[in-house]
């Protein structure tokens, strides 16, 4: 179920596969899910701006979407683990934001579509 959306400056070079693997494993250690249920989407942004544009910092914004019902402590632990995984992989100056959000169990649906 967990969906991880990683928006980042297009020119930022970092180990995406390693990040996804670590985040997926961390999620299974904090909430009741499996690595196979985790999905990460990397979305490079062609343009970004930090402050007045003079800092030269890259941008990484991560949203981890999980089903509602987890405690604030679990969500905070996920945030801390994702932030640590990013900080370990990003070698240049960057601003990093991580948010864990909850999806409504009554209205969220996910399927494996086999195609036509």
* pLDDT attached to residue 41: 98
pLDDT by position in tens, the chain (length 116): 899 999 999 999 999 999 999 999 999 999 999 999 999 999 999 999 999 999 999 999 999 999 999 999 999 999 999 999 999 999 999 999 999 999 999 999 988 899 99
Give the span between the Cα atoms of 115 and 98, in whole angstroms. 33
Count CA atoms within 13 Å of residue 17 on its CB side: 0
Q: At what angle do helices 16-30 and 72-89 cross, to 10 degrees?
A: 160
Q: Which residues of 37-61 are buried (b: 16+ CB within 10 A; e: fewer)?
A: ebebeeeeeeebeeeeeeeebbbbb
Our separate counts of H helices and E strands in the chain read: 2, 4
* pLDDT attached to residue 58: 97
Coil/strand/helix, residue 112: coil
């Amino acid at each position: 179920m967990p969906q991880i959306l990683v928006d980042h400056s297009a020119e930022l070079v970092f180990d995406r596969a390693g990040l996804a693997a670590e985040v997926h494993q961390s999620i299974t250690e904090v909430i009741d899910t499996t690595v196979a249920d985790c999905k990460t989407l990397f979305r490079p942004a062609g343009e970004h701006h930090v402050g007045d544009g003079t800092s030269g910092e890259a941008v990484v914004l991560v949203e981890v979407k999980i089903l509602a019902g987890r405690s604030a402590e679990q969500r905070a632990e996920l945030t801390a683990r994702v932030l640590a995984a990013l900080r370990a992989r990003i070698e240049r100056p960057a601003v990093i934001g991580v948010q864990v959000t909850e999806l409504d169990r009554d209205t969220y649906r996910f399927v494996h579509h086999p195609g036509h």
